[in-house]
């Protein structure tokens, strides 16, 4: 890996390979995170030169994962997987996202409980133009292996 920005992203997110869609973390603070992603020709959901707009939900989820990873690293804890529970009011102002588009994804933590449940207000931008919004619910269990029923945990 030659790009130090990508190395930083991989420290903060558990995603790997074709499922890591974030290119760099722009900022990661107590309640806010902004990331950047470029739609590349190897994207798993690319249809010709377009992505369906509903993939914006996963971009938002990965933005939140960057927030959770940054939070864990600041505490000296390992980055652990979390789970997308759902979205409310996902609105995309475009039907598709074009190949080569540079997205900025922002998430603001509205609440995050001791039980690992969180709610985030998310937005996706193309430059200064807001192209999608949603409220995203997530869950970060204290022990993801145990939560998934992994017999080795």
What whole-number distance in Å separates Cα of residue 103 and Cα of residue 132? 11
Q: How is the chain split into domains, by residue range?
A: 4-148
What CATH fold (topology level) applies to the domain 4-148?
Thiol Ester Dehydrase; Chain A (3.10.129)
**The tokens 């020709």 sit on which residue?**
41
- 104 alpha carbon, distance to own chain's centre: 11
55 vs 6, residue with greater confidence: 55
**Torsion 10-13-14-19 (CA) sign:** negative
Helix (H), strand (E) at residue 21 = none
Q: What is the pLDDT of residue 1?
A: 40
| pTM of the model as a whole | 0.90
In this predicted structure, what is the pLDDT of residue 16?
A: 82
> What pLDDT score does 148 carry?
72
The predicted-structure confidence for 37-86, as pLDDT tens digits, reads as follows 999 999 999 999 999 999 999 999 999 999 999 999 999 999 988 999 99
- Three-state SS at 59: helix
State both tokens at 77: 């804890």
Question: In this structure, are residues 88 and 134 in contact, taking their beta carbons and an 8 Å threshold?
Answer: yes
Query: In the predicted model, what is the mean pLDDT of the chain?
Result: 90
């Amino acid at each position: 890996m030659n790009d130090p920005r990508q190395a930083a992203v991989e420290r903060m997110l558990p995603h790997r390979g074709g499922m890591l869609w974030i290119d760099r973390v722009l900022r990661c603070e107590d309640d806010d995170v902004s990331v950047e992603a470029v739609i590349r020709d190897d994207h798993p959901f690319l249809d010709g030169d377009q992505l369906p707009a509903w993939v914006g939900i996963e971009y938002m989820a990965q933005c939140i994962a960057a927030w959770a990873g940054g939070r864990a690293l600041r505490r000296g804890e390992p980055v652990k997987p979390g789970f997308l529970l759902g979205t409310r009011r996902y609105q995309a102002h475009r039907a598709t996202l074009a190949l080569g588009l540079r997205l900025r994804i922002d998430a603001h933590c509205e609440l995050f409980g001791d039980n690992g449940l969180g709610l985030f207000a998310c937005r996706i931008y193309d430059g200064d133009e807001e192209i999608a919004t949603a409220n995203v619910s997530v869950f970060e269990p204290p022990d993801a292996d145990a939560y998934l029923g992994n017999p080795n945990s």
